[in-house]
Every structure is written in C-alpha cells, then in structure tokens.
C-alpha cells in the first residue's frame, strides 16, 4: 500500500482513491527516477511537461491512475521507459521504438552531427547506414539533407518494419530501407559518398549487458564477438568496395575502442583518420576517407 497525503494506491488490488498530478509524481519518485515518472505520466495523459507543471493540482482520472501505476511497476521491474511508451526523442525528431531495436542514445547524435558536417546541403550525396535499427541515424540524416539519397540496412526484419514506419511517419522520402546482413545484399559498385554505422560493439561478456536498460535491448544490436570489435572490423574491411574515391566512413564505437578503431582504419588504407569526443569527453566516433590510389599495386 502506498499513501501520499490523501492519495492511496494498493499495488496488489490496484485499489485507487483520487489523487492529484503532483501527488502521484511524489508517490512514484519514491520508486523510480523523476524524469521517468513524468515521461510515463505525460504518455498516459497525452500531455506535455508544461501541462503537468501547470495542472499539478488537477485530479487524475482512475483510468489514467491505473495505467500510470502499471507502467511504474514495469519500470520498477527494469523495463526501459522508451519501450513502455514506444517513443524516443533523438536529435530533433521523435522515433517509434520496440524491444526489436536499440533505444537511440544521446551519444549517437554525435554520429549524426559528424555525418551532417560532411554532407553539403547543396549536394546530392549517396549515404549508407549499416545496422539502422529504428532508423534514427539514417532518417535524421535524410530529413536534414533532403537532396541526399540514404540507404539503410538491417539484418532484423522487425527492425526494418520499425524503421520503415518511422520513415513514413516522419515523411522522409529520400530513404530506402532494406534487409541485409551488413553489405551482403548491396552492389559493390563504389557508389556511396559516406557510410555511417552504430554497430553492435559491446563485448559479449561485458557485465553491463546484465544491468539497467541493456537487459531489455536486443543482443543482436548491442554485442558481438572479438571483444566487441567483430562488426567494426568487418565494416572497415568491406567499406572500400562500396565507397566512391575519397568517400568517408564514420563509426560509433565503445568508450575504449577508439585506438583500435583508428588502427583498423589505418591498416585498411583509410586516410584523414580522426576520432571525435562526445559530450562526456569520450572518443565515441571515428572515421576516415578512402582514396582510389590505395588500390594501385605498390611498386616494389
């Protein structure tokens, strides 16, 4: 039983006595983070944050209270808020998400920022996003660079369905979303100006996978073998066959993988290799450009 002033709620019987927005928020912050509580309440009531603040003394309907309480219990169980609401803000857009896709992270906005900096608004460039998941990276790029042509692939058909839904909902017409195991179903015709990816890069034995929100996210999008480097290695090795002369590759990677990532890019013959730090000061995105002369056989 939870009692906050005159607000009473029995978790077992879901018995309810009327309470205000402010009271239910007080009740829930004893159990979950405030930011999670307000997002869940906004979702249930279909209102924005300023509504909650300006109507703090309004009473909740029993239906809203019941739905909100059930979501709070799910959150206590550990289910990520984005999976409970089915929504996640990324960059300046809102994406639909489900347990079939990774929840877009703030640090991945750095990948988008770096990509946009390489795509002049006036040019019509071809961009490839590998492992698109919800489509957050690809669709954000497509929306911000309407002249570009974005191809997005994912192995998971469930992810493809979500990404397509998002592209349609956000009216991104300059994007093609298709199922493929990395490059497998793409023609190696050196046509992409830019390849971006936020691949799975967590080591399979990393204990973080058993903690917090990550427990509920798809393994296929999070972790891989070779200590988290298998997909990054594959993408770096295969990209040259898909990039135009001077085309660029940009990868998100783990907090401790920038040196290895730059090393792999260098070994593959990429140039202008660099890493960029995220808001936490961690090198999070690395990239480089590939030049056709790399293909010329070296004179012994």
Give the residue numbers of the binding site.
Answer: 131-135, 154, 182, 198-201
User: Token pair for residue 61?
Assistant: 């309907």
Our finding on whether 197 is near ligand GLN (CB under 6 A) is no
Q: In angstroms, what is the minimal distance from the CB of 19 to ligand GLN?
A: 35
Binding-site members for S-adenosyl-L-methionine are 131-135, 154, 182, 198
Q: Decide if residue 190 touches ligand GLN (CB under 6 A).
A: no
**Which residues neighbour 74 within 8 Å (Cβ) at sequence distance 6 or greater?**
84
Least CB distance to ligand GLN at residue 287 (A):
16
Long-range contacts of 70-77 (CB under 8 A, 24+ apart): 70/14, 71/40, 71/43, 71/44, 72/28, 72/31, 72/32, 72/37, 72/40, 73/11, 75/31, 75/32, 75/36, 75/40, 76/31, 76/32
Helices (H), 176-248: 219-222, 230-238
User: Closest separation between CB of residue 200 and ligand GLN, Å?
Assistant: 5
Applying CB under 6 A, among 44, 127, 203, 222 the residue interacting with ligand GLN is 222
**Does residue 258 belong to the site contacting ligand GLN (CB under 6 A)?**
no
What residues contact residue 278 under an 8 Å CB cut-off, 6+ apart? 107, 110, 284, 285
Contact indicator for 10, 1 with CB cutoff of 8 Å: yes
37 is an interface residue for ligand GLN by CB under 6 A: no
- Should residue 229 be labelled a site residue for ligand GLN when binding is judged by CB under 6 A? no
Token couple for 292 = 């056709």
User: What is the total count of residues that contact ligand GLN (CB under 6 A)?
Assistant: 7
> Using CB under 6 A, which of the segments 50-58, 70-78, 199-207, 286-294 binds ligand GLN?
199-207
CB of 208 to ligand GLN, least distance (A): 6
Q: Is 105 in the site for ligand GLN (CB under 6 A)?
A: yes
Binding site for ligand GLN (CB under 6 A): 105, 198, 200-202, 214, 222
């Amino acid at each position: 039983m939870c009692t906050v002033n005159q607000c009473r709620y029995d978790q077992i019987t879901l018995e309810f006595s009327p309470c205000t927005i402010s009271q239910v928020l007080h009740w829930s912050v004893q159990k979950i983070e405030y930011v999670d509580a307000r997002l869940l309440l906004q979702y249930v009531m279909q209102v924005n944050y300023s509504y909650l603040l300006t109507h703090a003394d309004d009473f909740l309907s029993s239906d809203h209270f019941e739905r909100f309480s059930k979501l709070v219990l799910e959150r206590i169980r550990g289910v990520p808020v984005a999976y409970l609401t089915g929504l996640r803000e990324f960059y300046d857009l809102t994406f639909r998400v489900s347990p079939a896709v990774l929840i877009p992270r703030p640090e991945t906005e750095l990948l988008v920022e770096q990509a946009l900096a390489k795509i002049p608004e006036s040019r019509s460039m071809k961009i490839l996003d590998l492992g698109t998941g919800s489509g957050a990276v690809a669709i954000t790029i497509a929306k911000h660079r309407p002249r570009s042509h974005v191809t997005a692939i994912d192995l998971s058909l469930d992810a493809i369905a979500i990404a397509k839904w998002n592209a349609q909902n956000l009216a991104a017409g300059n994007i093609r979303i298709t199922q493929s195991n990395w490059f497998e179903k793409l023609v190696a015709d050196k046509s992409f100006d830019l390849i971006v990816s936020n691949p799975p890069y967590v080591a399979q034995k990393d204990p973080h996978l058993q903690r917090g929100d990550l427990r509920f996210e798809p393994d296929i999008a999070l972790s891989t073998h070779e200590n988290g480097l298998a997909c990054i290695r594959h993408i770096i090795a295969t990209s040259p066959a898909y990039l135009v002369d001077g085309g660029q590759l940009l990868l998100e990677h783990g907090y401790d993988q920038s040196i290895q990532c730059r090393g792999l890019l260098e070994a593959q013959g990429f140039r202008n290799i660099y890493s960029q730090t995220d808001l936490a000061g961690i090198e999070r995105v690395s990239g480089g450009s590939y030049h056709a002369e790399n293909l010329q056989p070296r004179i012994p």
